[in-house]
Amino acid sequence: MTKFLALNISVSDDGFMAGPNQSMEEPLGENGRLLHEWVFATKSFQEKIGGSGGTVGIDNDLIERGFTNIGATIMGRNMFGPIRGDWPDDKWQGWWGPNPVFEHPVFILTHHPRESMNMGNGTIFQFVTEGIEHACQLALLAAKDKDIRVGGGAQTIQQFMELGILDEIHTAQIPIELNSGEALFTNRDLQLKHYRKGDSVISGSVTHQTYIRI
């Protein structure tokens, strides 16, 4: 049975999953890259970007799980890129270069229509203007019984939590403070009313926490 999963969501000690002032130079906001150093260090991630080496262990297992049995991804427009408002042209193709790591259909929530893009390695970026429910329907068809991964930004994950769509949420708490940016949890009681707290695992300086839909 297909599950909706928000996996490997890095958050700072003060609750932010991205820093302020996203830009071409700082795609994750100011100091946001520090939230993902644990990801970049893993063997699984390095293999995905054509690199070599990398660490194994708990962190690597969790990153590998994020690529396993995933048939579609849904993300917000902020995760796809820094452009706001109407698309000026079709030049922007995401942060991931000519060979995106997804290798499956990706549905991007936006208020501004744009033609789909086939990146040639199985990744097809499709822009959905009809809302989350419609994106879920499209993703279910595309996933073909595999799981669906839900990505950022924070507002996208918040909407999925509040609707109770996510079957599992996995956060990785990083021991830094960003002081501002995009907070994941703004009202835990409300946002997690559909979930119970699952396993908590510490790997190095990273605390991994899961939340399971009731």
Instruction: Answer yes or no: is pLDDT of 38 > 90.
Output: yes
CA distance 81 to 96: 10
CA distance 163 to 141: 20
| Structural domain contains residue 50 | no
46 backbone φψ class: left, alpha, beta (φ>0; ψ -120 to 50): alpha
Number of domains in the chain: 1
| Structural domain contains residue 190 | yes
Instruction: Answer yes or no: is pLDDT of 18 > 90.
Output: yes
pLDDT score of 24: 87
pLDDT score of 153: 92
Q: How far does the chain reach from its first CA to its final CA, in angstroms?
A: 16
Range 167-193 average pLDDT: 95
- This prediction has a pTM of 0.96
Which contacts of 21-29 are long-range, i.e. CB under 8 A and separated by 24 or more positions? Answer: 22/78, 22/82, 23/82, 24/82, 27/82, 27/95, 29/178, 29/181, 29/182
Range 145-162 average pLDDT: 95
Range 36-61 average pLDDT: 96
pLDDT tens column, 74-109: 999 999 999 999 999 999 999 999 999 999 999 999
| Structural domain contains residue 107 | yes
| Structural domain contains residue 181 | yes
| Structural domain contains residue 156 | yes
| Structural domain contains residue 172 | yes
| Structural domain contains residue 136 | yes
pLDDT score of 144: 95
Range 206-214 average pLDDT: 97
- Looking up residue 157, the CATH number of its domain turns out to be 3.40.430.10
The boundaries of the domain holding residue 125 are 4-19+70-83+99-213
